[in-house]
Amino acid sequence: MSYIDGFLIAVSDENRQKFIDHANIIDRIFLELGATRIVEGWGDDVPAGKVTDFGKAVQAKPGETVCFSWIEWPDKATRDAAMAKMRTDPRMMAEPMPFDGQRMVFGGFEPVVDLTA
């Protein structure tokens, strides 16, 4: 069964194009290493909550937009092997992140329901 990595970050509105450019470079490496699909989403309708919300999760500041991304893998083994390679890939080190990586929320998920139309 497939495996999903999810990412939540806050990006300065001024860095929108830098975020897109960065994703187009880094995401190609993920595809090269076995990812089957990557989606990068720029927040468009991300409401503030009373207790918690996406913005609070990444400590978004005024002038930042919450971005949500995911990577689909054929399985966890492919994902784990790719992540190990990514840690030493010089292309990853050459691309500075256009956001504060310390506020990124991420995790790996095993799909339990997968419906399509």
- 34 lies in a domain? yes
pTM for the model stands at 0.92
- 116 lies in a domain? no
- 40 lies in a domain? yes
- 49 lies in a domain? no
Helical segments of 1-117, H only: 16-32, 54-57, 76-86, 90-94
Please give the pLDDT value at position 58: 97
Between the alpha carbon of residue 67 and those of residues 33, 72, 90, 98, 99, the distances in Å are 23, 17, 25, 12, 10
Q: pLDDT tens for residues 3-58?
A: 999 999 999 999 999 999 999 999 999 999 999 999 999 999 999 999 999 999 99
Answer whether residue 60 shows pLDDT above 80: yes
Answer whether residue 92 shows pLDDT above 90: no
Q: Where residue 84 falls among pLDDT bands split at 50, 70, 90?
A: very high
- 61 lies in a domain? yes
- 59 lies in a domain? yes
What's 7's domain CATH number?
A: 3.30.70.100
CA distance 13 to 9: 12
Q: Number of structural domains, the chain?
A: 1
- 114 lies in a domain? no
- 117 lies in a domain? no
Domain span at 17: 3-44+54-109
φ, ψ of residue 3 to 5 degrees: the values are -140, 145
